[in-house]
Structure 1
Amino acid sequence: MPSPRQLDREIWRLAVPAFLALVAEPLFLLADSAIVGHLGTAQLAGLGVAGAVLQTIVGLCVFLAYGTTASVARRIGAGDQRGALAQGIDGLWLAMVIGVLVTLPTILLARPLGQLVGADGQVIGPATTYLRIAALGLTPLLVMLAATGVLRGFQDTRTPMVAAIGGNLLNVVLNVALVYGAGLGIAGSAIGSVIAQSCAAGVLLTVVVRAALHEHAALRPDLPGIRAAARAGLALVVRTLTLRVAILATTYAVTRSQAGEAQSVALAAHQIAFTLWSTLAFILDAIAIAAQALTGRALGSGDRTTTRAITVRMIGWGVVVGVGLGLVLAAGSPLLGRLFTTDADVRHLLVAVLLIAAAGQPIAGVVFVLDGVLIGAGDGRYLAWGGLAVLLAYLPVLALVVALGGGLAWVWACFAGVFMGARFVVLVRRERGESWLVTGDARP
């Protein structure tokens, strides 16, 4: 079994580059928020609504990355590189099929989708404009997920990192040029993001295809393989759906807790806070990405002892990183608002929300790590049922907060305390058992 120091080197060798690749979507939105925020509060709030819809669609398909990482890593652990790439190619075709199927409905239903999240008045116009254009980037985003999953399964997180850095730099340049230089406003932000996402997806797709050709793995669509990939991801779709429902319900609760101008202020502050929360969460999830790859490989080779050692070590790192992120967020809470908006009311409201988010970071550290471990083990069924249980505990409390007139800070206290706390209990309970430690070259 590797020593703790060896495990640390392996974890961080994968986690550091994984972070830069994993935060591609939040960084797209973070850059967009910083640029669009100076157009006005309504535009920033509209971006928040459109971002919630896009993140829900992409989030439901996260199994394209997570499930592929686990299954490919198991094959690698068993010494079957050609089989690993064949599964990866099936995942890429599935990503393209899903992307084509969801793009047109998202464009046509952009306004109703924004209203479903709770936007109205001055917010719905910018939200609709951004969403209709940004929907064209859904297929590239899904291809990025699938290709990234394949490379992570091969213990390669550096290539996705390079694609992510390049895509985000291009996104910032295009956003500034199109929003202000060309005077396109929020539409220019969406156009820039779509172009940058397409370029990053092209780079990753090229790398995976070259590897498949080298191992003589077929590139043509394999319908049984695509169907098998879809079936294998169903449990993770349910698990992710519960997370997205909770996030959408939280955004909806913010819209219902205020009206008129106060609603725009609350939504703008919520958009900034949630974008920052998502960025920090992906830092924690980078450790979980390493867990997926290392757990899948260890179980594929039949090594349960190493799997346990990896899990314990990463839980420790999750706590340490969570505490550190919480301290940084708390210290920066009075200043971060200035990066996104000139509205004094939004900045004032944001401080309290960021302090609440900071307090929840240590719990989030454990939650994200264990989520990654169980995904790497192929324990999707438990994650799906556990997600449903958490949702049933969270939604009634959230509804009560709104009914009692709780504002944005109370909604965030409910999210950080009740939702994340319930996830913590569900995941720790599973990790302490033995049922998830299933060995073999095929994901259970």
Structure 2
Amino acid sequence: MKAETNKYSLWFLAWPIFVELLLQLLLGAVDTLMVSRVSDDAVAVVGLANQIFQAVMILFMTVASGAGILIAQKIGARQQESARTVGIMAVTISGLIGAILSVILYLEAVPLARLFQLEERLIPMAHTYISIVGSGMVLTALTATLSTAIRNTGNTKGPMIVAIGMNVIHVVLNYAWINGALGFPQLGLTGVAISTLVSRLLATCMLLYMFVSIFERKIRWRDLGVFNRKLFSEIIRIGWPLGINMSSWVLSQLAIYSFLATMGAAALAARTYMNTLESICFMLGYSIALSSQIQIAHLFGSGQTQAAYKAGYRGTWIGLGLVGCNSILLLIIGKSFLGFFSSDNVIIELALSCLVLTAILQPGRMINMGFGNALNAIGDTRFNMVISLFSMWGVAAGLSYVLGLHYGWGLAGIYVAMMCDEYLRGILVAIRWRRKKYLRIAEEPKKGIEAVGPTPKVSYTSHP
């Protein structure tokens, strides 16, 4: 009992996620720096390509996200076999979806690049990068789903270790192929793409090794064909609104990137550099939000609704304090940070013009993420879907066009629009969590059995 208490405490869950995000960020920053040495055009291409990849990832992340929450709930309810079945189905289905996407991205790289109004001179570079990295989307699907399943069993250290190894290998191979070092040929952006494939392949192998032993009963090859219709329905019930929510965000971001593309490669590159800088500010809060979701799902599954309710507030307030401090740090290091990535004064000035807006944006994002993830953890995913469809398109994308293009505010107008979107959704999910609708529904069946006696509970704190 004590071991389980520690396993699902907020601190125990959060610190490996934080370390994983921190090192991914540092290595990702190095990766961006390396790509910038190829050219600022290469950075713009990679930034747009990553938005395309995020868009297609929705198809398998719908299954992975729903399965992750359900795994934590089933383990909380002491239903280990059901959790195991959910994990297996998620991996096999996501892998099949990823394989189909790999073929599509390899064959349709150029039409996709043109769809988002990329400058014609950048199309050959985009074709190279999208076709190579996109052909490995099956590996992306497997790593994402395996990491989610393993993490929601309470083992956040395993995915952390794999992510660190994957990113170190990726940076080393980037260096080798970009510069023609360590006996490798000099391939530029093509080398970056190949490096991405190799590192993801190795990560997939390591995560599969962990996955087969993560549940009480070891997973064997013959188990990969298992399918339980009832459990799959539960995955979809939780997952499809998450998928709509994620697709709404990614597609609205793609629309915003298409607005940026009409502003030129400098605006695209500035936004890509700012994405890296924003990650520094938000990674602590994001790690708290992710770990809080796992904890709340486990508490909810075990019937501890009041503890789950309090955990939603605790995780959000802790994350908000951390993000507030980091917003101040963002303002301090912003100019120096951007100078490492580009010597183009136009790009740097564009990014710096949005620095204060970016710092103001982050607390709103934390409120939205904290309470939004809490709602997802208890299965209240449709509410997030509804407000996302309205706010992301009507506010984030709509205002981006009006302010950024129509009124000529440029990149600053886009940041104002994103800020309004995050704060609006943050307020709405906070109100929803306070009303406890799903928690009250879950408490109803317990009223008829309270006379039998209390159920032993596990106590959760923010530290083990």
* TM-score normalised by length of structure 1: 0.90
Alpha carbons of 1:144 and 1:211: their partners in 2 closer, same or farther (altered >3 Å)? same
2:427 equivalent among 413, 425, 428: 425
Alpha carbons of 1:281 and 1:122: their partners in 2 closer, same or farther (altered >3 Å)? farther
**What's 1:284 paired with?**
285
Could you report, residue by residue, the CA deviation over 1:218-271 in whole angstroms, capped at 9, with x for unpaired residues?
Answer: 622224458534564211110111111221122122123x2xxxx111111111
Alpha carbons of 1:7 and 1:305: their partners in 2 closer, same or farther (altered >3 Å)? farther
CA contact (8 A) 2:24 2:163 kept: no
CA contact (8 A) 1:27 1:168 kept: no
> Post-superposition shift, 1:301?
0.8
2:179 maps to 1:180 = yes
Alpha carbons of 1:185 and 1:378: their partners in 2 closer, same or farther (altered >3 Å)? same
2:243 equivalent among 205, 228, 237: 237
**What's 2:452 paired with?**
none
Alpha carbons of 1:58 and 1:19: their partners in 2 closer, same or farther (altered >3 Å)? farther
The percent of aligned pairs where both chains have the same amino acid is 23
User: Which segment drifts farther, 279-288 or 224-233?
Assistant: 224-233
Alpha carbons of 1:12 and 1:64: their partners in 2 closer, same or farther (altered >3 Å)? farther
CA contact (8 A) 1:398 1:411 kept: yes
**What's 1:200 paired with?**
203
CA contact (8 A) 1:301 1:439 kept: no
> Post-superposition shift, 1:420?
1.0
User: Which segment drifts farther, 161-170 or 212-221?
Assistant: 212-221
**Distance in 2 of aligned mates of 1:277 and 1:188:** 27
CA contact (8 A) 1:30 1:275 kept: yes
Write out aligned runs for 1:68-83 (5 A).
68-83=67-82
User: Which segment drifts farther, 20-29 or 288-297?
Assistant: 20-29
CA contact (8 A) 2:76 2:299 kept: yes
Write out aligned runs for 1:369-408 (5 A).
369-394=370-395, 395-401=397-403, 402-408=405-411
**Distance in 2 of aligned mates of 1:207 and 1:216:** 10
User: Which segment drifts farther, 190-199 or 279-288?
Assistant: 279-288
**Distance in 1 of aligned mates of 2:402 and 2:55:** 24
**What's 1:47 paired with?**
46
- One-letter amino acid of the structure 2 residue matched with residue 252 of structure 1: S
* TM-score normalised by length of structure 2: 0.86
Kindly report the root-mean-square deviation, in angstroms, between the aligned alpha carbons of the 2 structures. Answer: 2.5
Alpha carbons of 1:232 and 1:28: their partners in 2 closer, same or farther (altered >3 Å)? farther
**What's 2:275 paired with?**
274
User: Which segment drifts farther, 64-73 or 101-110?
Assistant: 64-73
**Distance in 1 of aligned mates of 2:127 and 2:432:** 41
> Post-superposition shift, 1:14?
0.8
**What's 2:86 paired with?**
87
**What's 1:301 paired with?**
302
Write out aligned runs for 1:149-160 (5 A).
149-160=148-159
**What's 2:363 paired with?**
362
User: Which segment drifts farther, 93-102 or 331-340?
Assistant: 331-340
Could you report, residue by residue, the CA deviation over 1:97-125 in whole angstroms, capped at 9, with x for unpaired residues?
Answer: 11011111111111121222221133322
- One-letter amino acid of the structure 2 residue matched with residue 410 of structure 1: G
> Post-superposition shift, 1:356?
1.6
**Distance in 2 of aligned mates of 1:329 and 1:176:** 28
**Distance in 2 of aligned mates of 1:90 and 1:352:** 47
**What's 2:328 paired with?**
327
1:247 equivalent among 239, 249, 253: 253
Could you report, residue by residue, the CA deviation over 1:75-96 in whole angstroms, capped at 9, with x for unpaired residues?
Answer: 1111122221111111101110
Alpha carbons of 1:277 and 1:288: their partners in 2 closer, same or farther (altered >3 Å)? same
**What's 2:141 paired with?**
142
User: Which segment drifts farther, 362-371 or 21-30?
Assistant: 21-30
**What's 2:453 paired with?**
none
Alpha carbons of 1:434 and 1:212: their partners in 2 closer, same or farther (altered >3 Å)? closer
**Distance in 1 of aligned mates of 2:309 and 2:83:** 24
Unaligned runs of 5+ in 1: none
| Secondary structure at the counterpart of residue 154 of structure 2 | coil
**Distance in 2 of aligned mates of 1:12 and 1:117:** 41
User: Which segment drifts farther, 338-347 or 431-440?
Assistant: 431-440
**Distance in 2 of aligned mates of 1:45 and 1:178:** 19
**Distance in 2 of aligned mates of 1:81 and 1:332:** 47
User: Which segment drifts farther, 291-300 or 422-431?
Assistant: 422-431
**Distance in 2 of aligned mates of 1:278 and 1:436:** 32
1:210 equivalent among 208, 213, 223: 213
- One-letter amino acid of the structure 2 residue matched with residue 62 of structure 1: M
| Secondary structure at the counterpart of residue 436 of structure 1 | helix
Unaligned runs of 5+ in 2: 444-464
| Secondary structure at the counterpart of residue 220 of structure 1 | helix
Alpha carbons of 1:290 and 1:315: their partners in 2 closer, same or farther (altered >3 Å)? same
> Post-superposition shift, 1:27?
6.6
CA contact (8 A) 2:150 2:214 kept: no
| Secondary structure at the counterpart of residue 122 of structure 1 | helix
**Distance in 1 of aligned mates of 2:216 and 2:197:** 28
> Post-superposition shift, 1:12?
2.0
**Distance in 1 of aligned mates of 2:341 and 2:254:** 22
**Distance in 2 of aligned mates of 1:326 and 1:64:** 33
CA contact (8 A) 1:333 1:354 kept: yes
Could you report, residue by residue, the CA deviation over 1:119-142 in whole angstroms, capped at 9, with x for unpaired residues?
Answer: 113332222211111113311121
CA contact (8 A) 1:38 1:342 kept: no
- One-letter amino acid of the structure 1 residue matched with residue 411 of structure 2: L
> Post-superposition shift, 1:210?
2.5
User: Which segment drifts farther, 13-22 or 319-328?
Assistant: 13-22
**Distance in 2 of aligned mates of 1:111 and 1:162:** 36
CA contact (8 A) 1:272 1:340 kept: yes
Q: Considering only CA atoms, is the larger Rg found in Structure 1 or Structure 2?
A: 2
User: Which segment drifts farther, 50-59 or 274-283?
Assistant: 274-283
> Post-superposition shift, 1:29?
5.2
- One-letter amino acid of the structure 2 residue matched with residue 274 of structure 1: N
> Post-superposition shift, 1:342?
2.5
Alpha carbons of 1:124 and 1:325: their partners in 2 closer, same or farther (altered >3 Å)? farther
